[in-house]
């Protein structure tokens, strides 16, 4: 991996951590979840650092998997240079889904149907669909498991719980996050096809 790519991942992780922390604040404000030991704005002190580490992990995992799955799963466009318009659109869509999960958390079944249904439509009209499915399903399972572990340790609690201490719609939220992750990687890390 070249220096520019690793630098880009750190910038991407800090920005991702900031956006995710602000979005998490929506969940706290709407009482979708609560932290056992709130520190600032009713969020725990470890929220921002954990999100930064999560984005670092996702960034390096994305690079690794894209480099090693390309013979079986096409991800050429997903590992090509991106642009600011596609990045802003993907992040805006993710933030809107996050807001909906906060303000609509009283209707968890409806949220699940909306999130997974809209994801299917977005995926159908997207590029590198096989790669996107691998990415989104991995994020959904990994994200739900990680948050379930944190919840089972008593560090936070969701208002509504379906499976392993978390709501079912949470997987759909992470799946929509895959679009933002992909465009963030394209915008911040992949300079050009020749750098791969």
Residue 6 has what pLDDT?
65
DSSP string, 28-64: HHTTSEEESS--BTTB-TTHHHHHHHHHHHHHHHHHH
Q: Model confidence over 71-96: pLDDT tens digits?
A: 788 899 999 999 999 999 999 999 99
**What is this structure's pTM?**
0.92
**Residue 17: exposed, middle, or buried by beta-carbon count in 10 A (0-12, 13-18, 19+)?**
buried
Cβ-contact 180, 90 below 8 angstroms = yes
Q: How far apart are CA 162 and CA 167, in angstroms?
A: 5
Q: Model confidence over 117-175: pLDDT tens digits?
A: 999 999 999 999 999 999 999 999 999 999 999 999 999 999 999 999 999 999 999 99
């Amino acid at each position: 991996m070249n220096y520019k790519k690793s630098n880009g991942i750190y910038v991407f992780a800090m920005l991702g951590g900031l956006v995710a922390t602000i979005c998490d604040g929506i969940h706290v404000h709407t009482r979708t979840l609560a932290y056992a030991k709130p520190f600032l704005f009713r969020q725990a002190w470890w929220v921002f650092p954990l999100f930064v580490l999560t984005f670092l992990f996702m960034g390096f995992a994305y690079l690794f998997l894209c480099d090693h799955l390309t013979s079986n799963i096409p991800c050429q466009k997903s590992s090509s240079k991106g642009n600011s318009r596609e990045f802003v659109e993907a992040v805006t869509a993710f933030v809107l889904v996050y807001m909906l999960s906060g303000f609509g958390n009283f209707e968890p079944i409806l949220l699940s149907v909306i999130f997974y249904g809209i994801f299917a439509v977005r995926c159908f009209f997207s590029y590198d669909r096989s790669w996107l499915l691998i990415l989104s399903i991995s994020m959904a399972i990994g994200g739900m498991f990680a948050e379930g572990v944190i919840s089972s340790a008593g560090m936070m609690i969701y208002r509504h719980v379906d499976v392993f201490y978390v709501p079912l719609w949470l997987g759909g939220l992470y799946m929509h996050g895959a679009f933002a992750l992909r465009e963030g990687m394209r915008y911040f890390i992949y300079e050009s096809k020749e750098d791969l």
